[in-house]
């Protein structure tokens, strides 16, 4: 089997507009939660979010393109630019053997809202030709491909909060199958918009802890009351091992396993038994040739919802059995908020940082133990500890379950 390694990473997210800034924020246990500033929330029951700060799309895209496209596309291109630059991959020179797999759960919610306002005020005849290509979820992948010149496989998952985990896993399969030698893989989403907040509040999924924005996302805590919506773009450069070695690339980690499953039961609620999400994890471990006993860190989906966190705890107990209380688990959504279609890629990058730097990222804001959530969630402070084998879970509405196995690179795998 062709081995797949990570040779570059880039991110724009609520706690860092680069991989170095993300690393520093994880070490500090810094929250990205704050009062929303991008639109008026004075009449909204949800006033908090995890917004990206200080990002200029015209610094990563040509001005006209930036003005004609949605924010999730800006975030995707910004993340891809850092990833490609850090990898040293000459994408244009190898374009036919380089692909892009960039996910988005919903796409251009910001431009959808503007389009509706335009329709109400100016009518259908004066619609811009840029509305549709600026909105549809696959255009994160499309613009990344156009910006960097990838001419291999071009794909875009739209499987809710599992989307960018699947985008990375699918990219691994393209490389394994010989369809590409390298892939730009990840996801982008902009959920902090009125329709995003309104939609998630409508299903009672959002935290309304408006007086404590930085402490509102509190996965596994007994007082958790919902997600804090965020926005982000994160992209990894994946390469076939021999291809990376021949060009002298720095190898950051290896993606060894990918597993999927479906709950087949409800549009929003997770499987209460944990059986089906657990199967995604065991499938990923089998793909990697690993057993549950070899896992040293779990980056949980951990959304900060009462039902979801308890359900994921049951999932992990199914997978790890008696060892479950000794496996370190953290939800970095406590810091980034819920990044929807960008969450899996961001958390995969966090797993790579944990492996490279020998630490376990914390679950911050965990001050009130929940009897239903009784595992080692690395509460409140980073823990220095070597990580060789990590897994990253991504669970999406509709019963989409995905898991990635990410490992420290070793020339000879054992």
The size of the chain, in residues, is 414
Q: Which of 161, 206, 373, 403 is catalytic?
A: 161
Nearest to 51 by CA among 105, 26, 15: 15
201 is an active site residue: no
Query: Is 338 a known active-site residue?
Result: yes
Dihedral pair phi/psi, residue 54, rounded to 5°: 70, 30
CA distance 300 to 387: 15
Q: Which of 50, 74, 243, 338 is catalytic?
A: 338
Cα 106–chain centre separation: 14
Q: How far apart are CA 148 and CA 72, in angstroms?
A: 17
**What are the structure tokens assigned to 111, written together?**
């431009």
Active site residue 367: no
Q: What are the DSSP calls for 263-313, one per residue? A: --S-SSS--TT-HHHHHHHHHHHHHHT--GGG--EEE----S-HHHHHHHH
Secondary structure (DSSP) of 184-222 = EEEEEEE--SHHHHHHHHHTT-B---TT-GGGS--TTBT
Q: Which residue has the tokens 């991959």?
A: 89
Neighbouring residues of 384: CB distance < 8 A, sequence distance ≥ 6? 358, 359, 360
Token pair for 413: 């795998």
Catalytic annotation, pick one of 74, 243, 301, 400: 301
Backbone angles phi, psi at 405, to 5 degrees: -105, 125
- By the 8 A CB rule, do 35 and 48 touch? yes
**Backbone angle region of 226, left / alpha / beta, with phi > 0 → left and psi within -120 to 50 → alpha:** left
Determine the Cα–Cα distance for residues 181 and 244; give it in Å rounded to an integer.
Answer: 9
CB contact at 8 A, 30 and 335: yes
Furthest-apart CA pair in the chain: how many Å? 64
- Catalytic (active-site) positions: 161, 301, 338
């Amino acid at each position: 089997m062709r081995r797949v390694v990570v040779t570059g990473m880039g991110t724009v997210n609520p706690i860092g507009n680069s991989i170095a800034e993300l690393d520093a924020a994880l070490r500090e246990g810094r929250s990205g939660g704050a009062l929303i500033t991008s639109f008026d929330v004075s009449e909204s029951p949800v006033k908090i979010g995890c917004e990206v700060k200080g990002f200029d799309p015209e610094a990563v895209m040509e001005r006209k393109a930036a003005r004609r496209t949605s924010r999730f596309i800006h975030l995707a291109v910004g993340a891809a630019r850092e990833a490609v630059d850090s990898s040293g991959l000459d994408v244009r020179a190898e374009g036919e053997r380089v692909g892009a797999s960039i996910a988005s759960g919903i796409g251009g919610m910001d431009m959808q809202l503007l389009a509706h306002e335009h329709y109400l005020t100016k009518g259908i005849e004066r619609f811009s030709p840029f509305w549709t290509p600026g909105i549809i979820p696959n255009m994160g992948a499309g613009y990344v491909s156009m910006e960097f010149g990838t001419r291999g496989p071009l794909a875009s998952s739209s499987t809710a909060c599992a989307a960018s985990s699947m985008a990375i896993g699918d990219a691994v399969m393209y490389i394994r199958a010989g369809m590409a030698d390298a892939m730009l893989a990840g996801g982008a989403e902009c959920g902090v918009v009125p329709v995003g907040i309104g939609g998630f509040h409508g299903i009672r999924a959002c935290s309304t802890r408006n007086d404590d924005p930085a402490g509102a996302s509190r996965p596994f805590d007994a007082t958790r009351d919902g997600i804090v919506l965020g926005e982000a773009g994160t992209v990894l450069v994946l390469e076939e091992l021999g291809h990376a070695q021949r060009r002298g690339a720095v190898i950051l980690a290896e993606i060894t396993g990918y597993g999927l499953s479906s709950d087949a039961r409800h549009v929003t609620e997770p499987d209460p038994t944990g059986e089906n999400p657990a199967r995604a994890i065991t499938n990923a471990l089998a793909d990697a040739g690993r057993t549950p006993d070899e896992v040293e860190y779990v980056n949980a989906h951990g959304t900060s919802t009462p039902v979801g966190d308890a359900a994921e705890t049951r999932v992990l107990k199914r997978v790890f059995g008696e060892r479950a209380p000794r496996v370190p688990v953290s939800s970095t959504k406590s810091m980034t908020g819920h990044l929807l279609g960008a969450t899996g890629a961001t958390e995969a990058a966090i797993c790579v940082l944990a492996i490279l730097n020998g630490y376990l990222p914390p679950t911050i804001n965990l001050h009130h133990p929940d009897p239903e959530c009784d595992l080692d969630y690395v509460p409140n402070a980073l823990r220095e500890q070597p990580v060789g084998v990590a897994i990253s879970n991504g669970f999406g509405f509709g019963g989409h379950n995905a898991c990635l196995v990410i490992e420290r690179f070793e020339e000879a795998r054992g």
